[in-house]
Structure 1
Amino acid sequence: MADGRRRRSEGRSRLRLALGITLSLVVLASAGVGWIYLKLSGNIDTFSAGGLSDSRPPGIAKGQNVLVIGSDARTGGNSELGGGSKDDVGRSDTAFLLHVYADHQHAVAVSIPRDTLLDIPPCRLPDGSWTQPQSNTMFNAAFSVGQTVKGNPACTQNTVEKLTGLRVDHTVVVDFKGFAQLTEVVGGVQVCVPQDIYQKDLSPSRAARGERVFAKGVQTVSGQKALDYVRIRHGMGDGSDIGRIKRQQAFVASLLKKVKEQGLTPAKLLPLADAAVRSMTVDPGLGSADKLLGFAMSLKDIDLHNTKFLTIPWRYEGERVAIVEPDASALWAALRADRTLDGADASGKGGRGTTAPSATPSATGAVSGAGIDVAVYNGTTVTGLAARAARMLTDHGFTITGTTTASTQDHATTVIEYGPGHEDKARTVGRLFPGARLASTSATETGAGINVILGASYSPADAPSGDAASAEPGSAQPGPLPSAVADDARSADDDPCANLSYG
Structure 2
Amino acid sequence: MTGHDESGDGIRRRGRRSRALKAAGLTLAGLLVVGAGTAGWAYWHLNHNITSVDINSALGDDRPAKAVVTPSATASASASPSPLPTEALNILVLGSDSRSGKANARLGGGNSSGARSDTAMVVHIDAGRTTATVVSIPRDTLVTRPSCPLPSGGSTAVAYGAMFNSAYAVGGPVCAVKTVESITNVRMDHYIEIDFAGFAKLVDALGGVTVTTDQDIDDDKSHLHLDAGTHHLNGKQALALARTRHGIGDGSDLGRIGLQQKLVKALLEQMAGTDLLTDPAKLYQVADAVTSSLTTDTGLDSLKELTNLGQSLKGLSADDVKTVMMPVATAPSDPNRVVAREPAAEELWTSLR
TM-score over 0.5 (shorter chain): yes
Q: Which has the larger radius of gyration?
A: 1
What residue number does 2:18 align with? none
- Of 31, 48, 71 in structure 2, the residue corresponding to residue 42 of structure 1 is 48
The 1:21–1:296 alpha-carbon spacing in structure 2 relative to 1, beyond 3 Å, is closer
Q: Write the distance in 2 (CA, Å) between the matches of 1:68 and 1:57.
A: 18
What one-letter code is carried by the residue in structure 1 that aligns with 2:289?
A
2:252 is the counterpart of 1:235 = no
SS at match of 1:145: helix
State the Cα deviation string for residues 244-273 of structure 1 (Å, max 9, x = none): 0010011001111222334798x8976543
What residue number does 2:320 align with? 306
What residue number does 1:127 align with? 152
Q: Write the distance in 1 (CA, Å) between the matches of 2:263 and 2:5.
A: 43
What residue number does 2:220 align with? 200
SS at match of 2:237: helix
What residue number does 2:101 align with? 76
2:226 is the counterpart of 1:220 = no
Q: Write the distance in 2 (CA, Å) between the matches of 1:198 and 1:281.
A: 32
What residue number does 1:315 align with? 329
SS at match of 2:124: strand
2:71 is the counterpart of 1:51 = no
SS at match of 1:135: strand
What residue number does 2:198 align with? 178
The 1:240–1:113 alpha-carbon spacing in structure 2 relative to 1, beyond 3 Å, is same
Which runs of 5 or more residues in structure 1 are unaligned?
A: 1-19, 147-151, 204-211, 337-503
What residue number does 1:297 align with? 311
State the Cα deviation string for residues 353-378 of structure 1 (Å, max 9, x = none): xxxxxxxxxxxxxxxxxxxxxxxxxx
- Does the Cα contact within 8 Å between 2:99 and 2:115 map onto a contact in 1? yes
What one-letter code is carried by the residue in structure 1 that aligns with 2:157?
Q
SS at match of 2:44: helix
Superposition pairs of residues 27-176 of structure 1, within 5 angstroms:
33-49=39-55, 50-60=57-67, 62-83=87-108, 86=111, 88-146=113-171, 152-176=172-196
The 1:32–1:98 alpha-carbon spacing in structure 2 relative to 1, beyond 3 Å, is closer
Q: What is the TM-score with the length of structure 2 in the denominator?
A: 0.77
- Does the Cα contact within 8 Å between 2:52 and 2:296 map onto a contact in 1? yes
Between Structure 1 and Structure 2, how many residues are aligned? 304
Q: Write the distance in 1 (CA, Å) between the matches of 2:167 and 2:190.
A: 17
What residue number does 1:485 align with? none
SS at match of 2:305: helix
Task: State the 1:24 CA deviation.
Answer: 7.2
The 1:32–1:282 alpha-carbon spacing in structure 2 relative to 1, beyond 3 Å, is closer
The 1:252–1:78 alpha-carbon spacing in structure 2 relative to 1, beyond 3 Å, is same
Task: State the 1:79 CA deviation.
Answer: 3.4
Q: Write the distance in 1 (CA, Å) between the matches of 2:340 and 2:9.
A: 55
- Does the Cα contact within 8 Å between 1:78 and 1:175 map onto a contact in 2? no
User: CA RMSD of the aligned region, Å?
Assistant: 2.9
- Does the Cα contact within 8 Å between 2:146 and 2:159 map onto a contact in 1? yes
- Does the Cα contact within 8 Å between 2:215 and 2:229 map onto a contact in 1? yes
The 1:76–1:293 alpha-carbon spacing in structure 2 relative to 1, beyond 3 Å, is farther
Task: State the 1:174 CA deviation.
Answer: 0.8
Task: State the 1:294 CA deviation.
Answer: 2.4
- Does the Cα contact within 8 Å between 2:92 and 2:188 map onto a contact in 1? yes
Task: State the 1:105 CA deviation.
Answer: 1.1
- Does the Cα contact within 8 Å between 2:211 and 2:231 map onto a contact in 1? yes
What one-letter code is carried by the residue in structure 2 that aligns with 1:325?
E
SS at match of 1:332: helix
SS at match of 2:155: coil
- Does the Cα contact within 8 Å between 1:53 and 1:123 map onto a contact in 2? no
Q: What is the TM-score with the length of structure 1 in the denominator?
A: 0.55
- Does the Cα contact within 8 Å between 2:109 and 2:196 map onto a contact in 1? no
Greater relative contact order (Cα 8 A, min sep 6): structure 1 or 2? 2
Which runs of 5 or more residues in structure 2 are unaligned?
A: 13-36, 69-86
2:234 is the counterpart of 1:252 = no
What one-letter code is carried by the residue in structure 1 that aligns with 2:155?
W
Q: Write the distance in 1 (CA, Å) between the matches of 2:329 and 2:160.
A: 18
Q: Write the distance in 2 (CA, Å) between the matches of 1:186 and 1:38.
A: 22
Task: State the 1:94 CA deviation.
Answer: 1.1
Which is worse superposed, 24-33 or 306-315?
Answer: 24-33
Higher helix share: 2
